[in-house]
Amino acid sequence: MHLSFSAYYTLIMAVLVLLLGKLLTRHIRFLRDFNIPEPVSGGLVVAAVIFALHQLTGLTLSFESGLQSAFMLVFFSSIGLSANFAKLREGGMGLIIFLCVIVVFIVVQNGVGVGLATLLGLDPLIGLVAGSITLLGGHGTAGAWGAVLEQQYGLSGATALGIACATFGLVIGGLLGGPLAKRLITRHQLARPRTNAEQQSDRTTVSEGSDVANFESPNTAPRLITAEAAIETLALFAGCLAFAEFMTGATKGTAVQLPTFVWALGGGVVIRNVLDYGFGFKVFDRAIDVFGNAGLSIYLAIALLSLKLWELTDLAGPLMIILAAQTLALALFAAFVTFRVMGRNYDAAVLAAGHCGFGMGATPTAVANMQAITNQYGPSHKAFLIVPLVGAFFIDIINAFVLQMMIALLR
């Protein structure tokens, strides 16, 4: 039996998934503590129900894929449109060094995944799925590359596999960062735990760090997202999507052929910085974030509705081996590379906690890790500047191009 949903009904189902996820996150503390996205919370429950129906009745469901692709491109366009190169100067040399550390880590993470997948007799591309595609890239990147690997390289179940790995990474990233940083601080005597009175007096400092993470100035009144602002923002997204469509067609079959979502991201970077530096146009960052987050939520909801979990049953054992090895690799890299390269001081320890957060999770997980450390030991302005800048957009740009090169080598 097969049931197909049109674009309208697909959108309705996606919204229901988001509402379910919101309800679950509100009532289940575990989901809040580990920053599990609402579309993932609701989508995994619905995917499990669809899996049970398939096993019991043989029923399969299909949803409008064009709608999913459109919202995916909106999300990646928002990352590019947020990439203001002035932020690179603001981060200084510390940001450049940290970016270099992350580039090396991407290669290591994918090397661990591909190496173990090969040893276990799996397609090496599965190692990339259980590598930086999902663990560093998160759920959005997992779905985007999963679709590419399924359609262009015939890797069945890549999207479902990616969503599972990304969810695992969110939990582990939240568990790993705090204890690792505390061990580094204690072992090297970098700071002492603060008293309750000292922690209370520094609440405003932590809030200031959060403001940096959100790229909002606490001294300016927020600009409202009006109809005019929404139209202006839609025009920017339309430019990114048009650029992506043109470049995908123009480079097809050439040495610089890239997935469409990479061109959407790149188009956003070009448009943002041309407007900033060429025309002095002030891009409305908060509106871009709202549109991008909405696009990601609907895209993930549709992706999770489309999961075919029955395609993963044979990969459960090997996948857990690879993910366990990735956890160990991240812990060792953060402790012996990130911490040492970034200065072997208190800021470096907090950066190591942040690295664990987005190295197997997402930027909110990284910020939560750092806040847990700074609440206990004191503020780290350097870490709260660098990690959100890297996690918000630079990491996705770098990861996309490194993955494209590694896939080309494997194929």
Give the C-alpha separation, 230 to 155, whole Å. 38
Give the C-alpha separation, 353 to 372, whole Å. 9
Q: Do residues 223 and 284 touch, judged by C-beta distance below 8 A?
A: yes
Q: How confident is the model at residue 211, as a pLDDT?
A: 38
Q: How confident is the model at residue 88, as a pLDDT?
A: 66
Q: How confident is the model at residue 91, as a pLDDT?
A: 66
Q: Do residues 113 and 128 touch, judged by C-beta distance below 8 A?
A: yes
Q: How confident is the model at residue 210, as a pLDDT?
A: 41
Give the C-alpha separation, 392 to 213, whole Å. 9
Give the C-alpha separation, 266 to 250, whole Å. 15
pLDDT tens over the chain, length 411 residues: 788 888 889 899 999 999 998 999 888 887 777 667 788 788 888 888 888 888 888 888 888 878 888 888 898 888 788 877 776 676 678 888 999 999 999 999 999 999 999 999 988 999 999 999 988 888 778 888 888 888 888 888 888 888 888 888 877 887 888 889 889 998 988 888 866 655 555 544 433 444 344 444 445 567 778 888 889 999 999 999 999 999 988 988 776 777 787 888 888 888 988 888 888 888 888 888 889 888 888 887 888 787 777 766 667 788 889 999 999 999 999 999 999 999 999 999 999 999 998 888 777 778 878 888 888 888 888 888 788 778 766 787 788 888 888 888 887
Side chain identity, residue 115: G
Q: How confident is the model at residue 43, as a pLDDT?
A: 84
Q: How far is CA 99 from CA 378, 382, 390, 394, in A?
A: 24, 14, 7, 8
Side chain identity, residue 59: L
Give the C-alpha separation, 253 to 255, whole Å. 7
Q: Do residues 276 and 283 touch, judged by C-beta distance below 8 A?
A: yes
Which residue carries 């697909």 as its tokens? Answer: 10
Token pair of 316 as six digits: 């459960």
Q: How confident is the model at residue 312, as a pLDDT?
A: 67
Q: How confident is the model at residue 194, as a pLDDT?
A: 67
User: Number of C-alpha atoms within 13 angstroms, CB side, residue 355?
Assistant: 33
Give the C-alpha separation, 316 to 294, whole Å. 31
pTM of the model: 0.72
Contact partners, residue 120, CB within 8 Å, separation at least 6: 318, 321, 322
Q: How confident is the model at residue 216, as a pLDDT?
A: 44
Q: How confident is the model at residue 6, as a pLDDT?
A: 87
Q: Do residues 387 and 351 touch, judged by C-beta distance below 8 A?
A: yes
DSSP assigned state of 380:
-
DSSP assigned state of 280:
-
Residues 311-336, buried b or exposed e (16+ Cβ, 10 A)?
Answer: ebeebeebbeebbeebbebbbebbbe
Domains of the chain, residue spans? 2-218+295-410
Based on its alpha-carbon atoms, the radius of gyration of the chain, rounded to whole angstroms, reads 21
Side chain identity, residue 49: V
